[in-house]
Amino acid sequence: MPHETTPHTSTANDVMLADVLKLRGEVRQADHLFENVLRDLEAVSERTIMRWRRKQAVKDEVDKLRTSWGEIYKTFRDSIWYSREIAGSVQAVIDDITQVVIPRLTAREVSYEAKLSELCDSIDYISRRNKEAVLMTTAFKNIQNDVHQWSEHWAAFKLTKMYRKFLKDELITRQLASLLRLMGEPAWEALAGHGASLILRLISPIWYALIKDTVVSESDNKDDQIPSEVNKLVTKIAVMCNLWAEITADLRQIRSATSHLSQDISGEATVLYSSRLNRLKTMYTALSTALRSYQVNVFLD
């Protein structure tokens, strides 16, 4: 079902695309920094053995650092690719929710038992998919910590006599500092459970300001500000990898509202329920647009 485009949604979509392209730039910048450190470590290793053939222990230490850095780099690249796979799978599911599930929830001829059963089936399916993503989500959340720990090992190596006397190369240190600033501090745990709108708020705060009146009600406790210090690359991708869990949180709230409505079918309750579903549909339609843009634009060669 095509989504009607208004000047308001068109502006919001333009903003979203611009911010997804910005995210692509951040991902590629991080990738280049990872690659540069790996390349410079290789150069340090070669320079060490060329100049000091009897200092095999120094080369071995550099090679050990290079191997561990390569493993962190591979996890980063794998996580980016996997986040795109998740984006594609989630997009298909939320399109089904907006085009099939929500219309059935609002259909008077469908019993509440059938509505609740369908919601339970959707939640069970999504929960199973989420289990597949847990390992990658955890791995990506740990990247920041891994980079920090590796940086500490590099700093310790720099204190050795051999490094201070002969190498004196600060390029790797500067690139590490740039990478850590770009990736930001891990803050996924504090933000989890906010629902699927969270990824939209993280990727594009300006989009959220434009569209929030149509997706957030005064009674929803979701309008808290996201601190700018957590609006960084690691948190964005970790939340993207965790989208299955965020959708589960949304559907559980709808299931609770559906169960409540089955016991209170007053006019006011019905209006509130319909309003909530309409907000979810609007938000998921925007999320589908964002996920499509993410799949197309955020990738590594």
Domains and CATH numbers, the chain: 7-297 (1.20.1170)
pLDDT of residue 99: 93
pLDDT of 9 higher than 50: yes
Q: Are 287 and 199 in contact (CB under 8 A)?
A: yes
Q: What is the pTM of this model?
A: 0.80
Sign, Cα dihedral of 125, 130, 133, 135? negative
Q: Which residue has the higher pLDDT, 17 or 4?
A: 17
pLDDT of 69 higher than 90: yes
Instruction: Provide the b/e sequence for 264-278 (b: ≥16 CB within 10 Å).
Output: eeeeeeeebbeebbe
> How sure is the predictor about 36, in pLDDT bands with cuts at 50, 70 and 90?
very high
CB atoms within 10 A of CB 252: 15
- Cα–Cα distances (Å) from 10 to 17, 116, 196, 210, in that order, read 11, 34, 21, 11
Return mean pLDDT, the chain. Answer: 80
> How sure is the predictor about 178, in pLDDT bands with cuts at 50, 70 and 90?
very high
> How sure is the predictor about 151, in pLDDT bands with cuts at 50, 70 and 90?
very high
Residues 220-259 have pLDDT tens digits of 544 455 555 556 787 778 777 778 888 888 888 899 888 8
DSSP percent split of the chain into helix, strand, coil, nearest 5: 85, 0, 15
Q: Are 237 and 20 in contact (CB under 8 A)?
A: no
Q: DSSP class of residue 228?
A: G
pLDDT of 216 higher than 60: no
Q: What's the CA gap between 164 and 166, in Å, rounded? A: 6
